[in-house]
Structure 1
Amino acid sequence: MIRMHGEYRRHLRSGIRIPVIISHARRTFETTTLDISTSGLRLKRPEHVYIRPGETIDIEFRDKVGTKVAATVMHIGKTHIGLQLYDRRFSGDELKALYDVAPFWQRLSAASKRTLWKKSRRLAVLVVNTYLRPLVIALVRPQFIFAVYGNEKQAGSYFSPDMVRRMPSNLILGFIRNEDMRGLMVASQFLEHELQADSDKVRLYMERLQQDFPRAQRIALVGRLPNFVKKAGIEIKRPLVEGSLGTRYMIWDIARQMHERPQYRHQDSIVVLGGAGRIGNAVCRDLTSLFETVIGLDPRYEEDQEINTDQGKVLQTSSLERLHDETLYIALTHQGDAVLDLYQHMPEGALIADDTHPCISLKVRERLRENQIEVEKIVLSHDQFMMWPRMPDWNNRDIPGCLVEALVLLRRPDVAEGSFSGFCQEAEFLGFTGRLVRPLDE
């Protein structure tokens, strides 16, 4: 239930309360909204109304004539009903029109809360990384570090340009716990494009990490950071963890689940978008244990090539025509919105499992939905995992795949020396499992 609450937080946004009429079981009930977001809303639960999760109900906004939507019940509480819109989203104009119905004081309160939360998080980052930094490190005694980076939008969630001069180059941004293991999420002030372009900044990031946290047993590298590190001439050895085994396990488990869905059980092929990458090439081979043919699509392939493994076939290609009959996709492109160059070649009913960083944005997902192409985010979960505060676009109970290898190695230091299948068995034994979730709408 704790994890469920984290997933439904996407509906806990505005605090706008306006009257609505809900229709269920051929009856109508009047109530009010508690929150409204792009993809859903939360309603005050009318007395003596019993609705099961999974049912679809109609909602009519009383003060907006003609505005009627269908929504699926995702969660029922004692005083509220959590809903997800069925087969549509509110546009920006629609949300503004609904907000305008609310009293002025409610709109002012909602705006103030959003501003307060953003400023509070920035203030916390400033205080933790200046006055309280030694104390936080002493109290947490991190066994592992999750080394991350971000783009301008993501960095702006944590600090402003004016704050940068007052803080160290590597910033503590979050606390992580997995069972009895504790760690910290640490980000460089250098943005993604700076790390990609300047190896000196990458070297400075890695040097400072090991200086700041000399007792950390493992330092997990997020996303494309292993590529940047190798480009900078740094050998990835203990305590640095490349993270590829955890990511490969996560994607393999997700592909297995995709194949088990009734509508895709007949599929004997899957496409890996970004198949020529560091992870993509290995993932293509891993997935031949589940599919007869794995198509690795990447513009870096100059000509088609077939590679036979012990279990199946990998087709390496840059031809977009190969997508026309394919319905299952794993997105491993350098950034999520790169799928905009590809989606017109995908058929209706396609499903993209997104493991990009930054992930496929809401704006792009809405365009894909117009072509009846669904996007779900790939995550790993563990019952005893928690990250606070959560990363942008993430649930605080979900684990990035690149972090999992470090968590497994802390328990089983020798597992990385074995086979991929051996790592998968250990990860599954320790309770890590892949999940496909709806992306957060931000």
Structure 2
Amino acid sequence: MISMHGEYRRHVRSGIRVPVTLKYASHTVETNTLDVSASGLRLKRPKRVYIRPGEVIDVEFPDKSGMNVAATVAYTGKSHIGLQLNLRRFSDTELSELYDIAPPWQRLIATGKRTLWRNSRRSAVFLANTWLRAPLHALARPHFVFAVYGNRQQAESYFTPWMAQRMPSNMVLGFIRNEGMRGLLVASQFMEEELEEDSNKVRFYLDQLQRDYPEVERIALVGRLPNFAMKAGIGMNEPLVEGSLGTRYMIWDVARQMHERPRYSQQNSIVVLGGAGRIGNAVCQDLTSLYDKVIGFDSRYEEDREIATDRGTVLQTSSPDHLRDEKLYIGLTTHGDAVLEFQQYIAPGALIADDTHPCVSLTARERLLERQITVEKVVLSHEEFLMWPRMPAWNNRDIPGCLVEALVLLRQPAVGQGDFSAFCQEAGFLGFTGRLISPLDE
């Protein structure tokens, strides 16, 4: 349940069919939607109409006077066309208006599908953690566990208070496979704010995990959980894995790719938002192998301090004035939307690689996009990785960086001794690759 905002990717207005008019290449074509979401449309493909992916077209809604959008063709199929909106999103008001245009029977079906999906997932979680829990454990025989958490809004998508009272405190939410290694995604019923405020609950969560899974080789801790554990006086001893090496490798690999983009190839500096944190401080040092100057920006710094390394310079600062001319950013703040506090200092055309938990919200991304600031999500991938069902807001083949360290250590335990270069070499050799992707809609 690592910041399970991805639950809202299935937008409540999905499945609505309303008439639209397409205008492109001096042609006007009428068709109707098959699906509507905040960021795009799926349309019925008219006969004898061929529109290639990448084409930009205008979409008008005849039944909603004045509503029109520009969109890029993301894909085409035999019977449908997928469109991605350009430089905007449908607001909640606009989606409600489109929803109201649809016939009552369509609205009823859309609501029914949403209810069925929510109840089916809740039922599956309940069964997996009551009558089927023991058989699932016996069948999975996990080598590792990925320990995660969520907030109250996210938890409501997975279970009701009635269900919570009848399930174990640590709940199985998914199965993970990486080559020959098997694992389970396990979430605590304690919410993120509870774990942050009460160290006793952190100790109970992790102690119970080790009692539930005494045979696993590694327990990977998500997001801020290592910080909560250290605050609670829990040492990062086996099988616990705090995940920083995996996260650092992911960010390093992504930062390397950012520099390789033609638009940013001349940039010799990068900003780490949240540079004073446990991960952020190490990341700043890591990135000096790629950039001449790394700016560690964090409100916790009381004064500017410049640190020279063998490869480059790290500037530790809390002054947003140092951001004005920068174009590349790594987001490591305690929550993604913290970037809005200093957005006015970020130059148009900047790119933020987001590895925050919870990550930059759709609303915040829209506000940043108005200033021509792009946000992309940081993930790691491996061709032999699979998570089922997928973790919300993630592709089922994309991996959180905090899990990767455990996956590497399962194969090469010796690389977990703090040698970052050795870990990077081993992770790359094993096929783990950092990527930047468009954030999934909420």
TM-score range, shorter chain: over 0.9
C-alpha contact 2:13 2:95 (8 A) present in aligned 1: no
C-alpha contact 1:350 1:372 (8 A) present in aligned 2: yes
Aligned to 1:307: 307
Pairwise CA RMSD of aligned residues? 1.6
The one-letter code sitting in structure 2 at the alignment partner of 1:76 is T
Aligned to 1:440: 440
Q: Supply the distance in 2 between the matched residues of 1:331 and 1:67 (Cα, whole angstroms).
A: 35
Aligned to 1:292: 292
Aligned to 1:92: 92
Aligned to 1:3: none
Aligned to 1:406: 406
Q: Which runs of no fewer than 5 residues in structure 2 stay unpaired?
A: 1-5
1:418-437 to 2 correspondences below 5 Å: 419-437=419-437
Aligned to 1:219: 219
C-alpha contact 1:11 1:35 (8 A) present in aligned 2: no
C-alpha contact 2:12 2:114 (8 A) present in aligned 1: no
Residue 380 of structure 2: SS of its match in structure 1?
strand
**Is it true that 1:114 corresponds to 2:114 in the alignment?**
yes
Cα 1:80/1:179, change in 2 over 3 Å: farther
Which one is further off, 29-38 or 16-25?
16-25
TM superposition shift of 1:176: 1.1
Cα 1:11/1:47, change in 2 over 3 Å: farther
TM superposition shift of 1:13: 6.2
1:42-441 to 2 correspondences below 5 Å: 42-417=42-417, 419-441=419-441
TM superposition shift of 1:232: 1.1
Q: Supply the distance in 2 between the matched residues of 1:74 and 1:282 (Cα, whole angstroms).
A: 38
Q: Supply the distance in 2 between the matched residues of 1:53 and 1:419 (Cα, whole angstroms).
A: 45
TM superposition shift of 1:413: 1.9
- TM-score, normalization: structure 1? 0.95
Q: Supply the distance in 2 between the matched residues of 1:151 and 1:10 (Cα, whole angstroms).
A: 19
The one-letter code sitting in structure 1 at the alignment partner of 2:395 is N
The one-letter code sitting in structure 2 at the alignment partner of 1:317 is T
TM superposition shift of 1:133: 0.5
Residue 434 of structure 2: SS of its match in structure 1?
strand
1:91-148 Cα offsets, whole Å, 9 max, x none, are 1111111111111111111111112111111111111111110010000111110000
The one-letter code sitting in structure 2 at the alignment partner of 1:327 is K
TM superposition shift of 1:197: 1.0
C-alpha contact 1:11 1:42 (8 A) present in aligned 2: no
Segments of 4+ in structure 1 off by > 6 A? 9-13
C-alpha contact 2:21 2:31 (8 A) present in aligned 1: yes
Residue 342 of structure 1: SS of its match in structure 2?
helix
- TM-score, normalization: structure 2? 0.95
TM superposition shift of 1:397: 2.2
Bigger relative contact order, structure 1 or 2 (CA pairs below 8 A, ≥6 apart) = 2
Which one is further off, 116-125 or 56-65?
56-65
Residue 174 of structure 1: SS of its match in structure 2?
strand
Residue 275 of structure 1: SS of its match in structure 2?
coil
TM superposition shift of 1:73: 1.4
The one-letter code sitting in structure 2 at the alignment partner of 1:32 is N
Q: Which runs of no fewer than 5 residues in structure 1 stay unpaired?
A: 1-5
Cα 1:154/1:391, change in 2 over 3 Å: farther
Residue 316 of structure 1: SS of its match in structure 2?
strand
C-alpha contact 1:158 1:173 (8 A) present in aligned 2: no
Residue 200 of structure 2: SS of its match in structure 1?
helix
